[in-house]
Chains A and B, each alone.
Chain A
């Protein structure tokens, strides 16, 4: 019950932001997801971020209290994403496992 309540509060009156990133294949999208997921948003930062992969698309959904905090988070995510893609371009493709 508490989880449902928290989820409802979470959405109400919050800023939302969605981003879809296409990758050549689902393998690359999953690698990017696992590279970008481990570092959590700062606690008590008034922001949350959900990453998921569907097919070859990496999707990110933000929910934030303030535009200022949202901008910082989205900006740093895009910077990190660029570095991951650059790394894949230079040191890929992934070996078959």
Chain B
């Protein structure tokens, strides 16, 4: 049996999870929630993580019913993400690894999402759509790499949603995306927005600028309701994502789609992807907010795979990195 503890804190969530051979023993998490209209800044987010990380670590051990001696490896997020929060989490991971005499393992955050999605859904070799506040990529596995077939050329889809939420002061609790999703259900009028798929890639910054420009005018003149804007934005963004995912599937001859990342728990996105999959006779895999949204168990799971294939990270090589592409990692645990 191999037990891995995973530390995640690359954005506004801090999570610590423990995995024993595919079984999630504990996965506590805290979210730094800012007032409506405000995003989360690196130094404030790091302060939030510092204030709660040791409590979360205690919870993770208690809920799993384990002692430090039962753990085989300490995994943490090496990147990508915001620098200050990443350092906070890495400091604690390095310190406990030394106190407990356990090997350390730096994990790519994106790989964490993919491996957690594969574990939970049992999807074997899916085309992966990874959508969150910081990342938007269509990924497929080939020859020991998770290869990026398409991605955003500017901001992430979740960042587009988050920043739209700030414009019309939608609450960030529990997340801006969740609240947009609920409001979109009450939308009836479709407002046409730019649609920007460029080959295999997508662009969201122009859509954001456009909706930022027109939102207040349309709302104050009564041309449409906030719910209509939420609905229209979701339909436009998600159509683009489904389009590039379908093209990647056709290219790879893939019959499976796995959606991971925080935006992946949006049920409307899952529904639209499901329609496309049904038309192609393909299967859709998705998870709920426990595992889609950043969490510690996903880092533990990727760490488990890496550790079992013989990888460890020496302390002097354990620096964090804000940029760390999914395809930089050699996948030593898959054929």
Query: Using a CB–CB distance below 8 Å, which chain A residues touch chain B?
Result: 31-32, 34-40, 79-80, 83-84, 86-88, 90-95, 97
Interface residue? B166 (CB, 8 A): no
- 21 chain-A/chain-B pairs, Cβ below 8 angstroms: A31-B95, A32-B95, A35-B95, A38-B316, A38-B318, A38-B319, A39-B90, A39-B319, A79-B50, A83-B53, A83-B88, A83-B92, A84-B91, A84-B92, A90-B58, A91-B54, A91-B57, A91-B96, A93-B99, A94-B98, A94-B99
B98 touches A91 (CB 8 A): no
For B96, what are the chain A residues with a Cβ–Cβ distance below 8 Å?
Answer: 87, 91
* B316 contact from A37, A80, A84, A97, Cβ within 8 A: A37
Query: How far does the Cβ of B108 sit from chain A's closest Cβ, in whole Å?
Result: 17
Q: How far is the CA of A83 from the CA of B47 in the complex (A)?
A: 11
Number of B residues contacting the other chain (C-beta, 8 Å)? 25
* A84 contact from B58, B95, B318, Cβ within 8 A: B95
Q: How far is the CA of A72 from the CA of B202 in the complex (A)?
A: 38
Q: How far is the CA of A38 from the CA of B95 in the complex (A)?
A: 12
Q: How far is the CA of A51 from the CA of B308 in the complex (A)?
A: 33
Query: How far does the Cβ of A86 sit from chain B's closest Cβ, in whole Å?
Result: 6
Given A86-B54, A95-B99, CB of A34 within 8 Å of CB of B69: no
Q: How far is the CA of A37 from the CA of B100 in the complex (A)?
A: 19
Q: How far is the CA of A90 from the CA of B99 in the complex (A)?
A: 11
Interface residue? B68 (CB, 8 A): yes
For B53, what are the chain A residues with a Cβ–Cβ distance below 8 Å?
Answer: 83
Query: Using a CB–CB distance below 8 Å, which chain B residues touch chain A?
Result: 50, 53-54, 57-58, 68-69, 87-88, 90-92, 94-96, 98-101, 315-320
For B316, what are the chain A residues with a Cβ–Cβ distance below 8 Å?
Answer: 34, 37-38
Q: How far is the CA of A47 from the CA of B87 in the complex (A)?
A: 19
Query: How far does the Cβ of A35 sit from chain B's closest Cβ, in whole Å?
Result: 4
Which 10 A-B pairs rank lowest in CB-CB distance, beginning with the nearest? A35-B94, A38-B319, A87-B95, A31-B98, A35-B95, A34-B315, A38-B318, A94-B99, A97-B101, A95-B101
The main secondary structure of chain B at its interface with chain A is helix
Given A38-B318, A87-B54, CB of A92 within 8 Å of CB of B92: no
Given A31-B99, A88-B99, A95-B69, CB of A83 within 8 Å of CB of B91: yes
Further 4 A-B residue pairs, CB within 8 A, beyond A38-B319, A84-B95: A31-B95, A83-B88, A87-B95, A90-B57
B319 touches A91 (CB 8 A): no
B91 touches A34 (CB 8 A): no
For B87, what are the chain A residues with a Cβ–Cβ distance below 8 Å?
Answer: 39, 80
B54 touches A90 (CB 8 A): yes
Q: How far is the CA of A36 from the CA of B95 in the complex (A)?
A: 9
Question: Which of A31, A36, A38: most chain B CB closer than 10 A?
Answer: A38
For B90, what are the chain A residues with a Cβ–Cβ distance below 8 Å?
Answer: 38-39
A34 touches B98 (CB 8 A): yes
* A38 contact from B50, B68, B94, Cβ within 8 A: B94
For B317, what are the chain A residues with a Cβ–Cβ distance below 8 Å?
Answer: 38
For B92, what are the chain A residues with a Cβ–Cβ distance below 8 Å?
Answer: 83-84, 87
For B94, what are the chain A residues with a Cβ–Cβ distance below 8 Å?
Answer: 34-35, 38
For A91, what are the chain B residues with a Cβ–Cβ distance below 8 Å?
Answer: 54, 57, 68, 95-96, 99-100
Q: How far is the CA of A95 from the CA of B68 in the complex (A)?
A: 10
Query: How far does the Cβ of A81 sit from chain B's closest Cβ, in whole Å?
Result: 9
Query: How far does the Cβ of B147 sit from chain A's closest Cβ, in whole Å?
Result: 29
Query: How far does the Cβ of A45 sit from chain B's closest Cβ, in whole Å?
Result: 13
B91 touches A80 (CB 8 A): yes
For B88, what are the chain A residues with a Cβ–Cβ distance below 8 Å?
Answer: 80, 83
Q: How far is the CA of A97 from the CA of B91 in the complex (A)?
A: 21
Given A34-B94, A39-B319, CB of A92 within 8 Å of CB of B99: yes
For B318, what are the chain A residues with a Cβ–Cβ distance below 8 Å?
Answer: 38
B98 touches A39 (CB 8 A): no
**Which residue of B has the minimal Cβ distance to A37?**
B316
For B99, what are the chain A residues with a Cβ–Cβ distance below 8 Å?
Answer: 31, 87-88, 91-95
For A35, what are the chain B residues with a Cβ–Cβ distance below 8 Å?
Answer: 91, 94-95, 98, 315
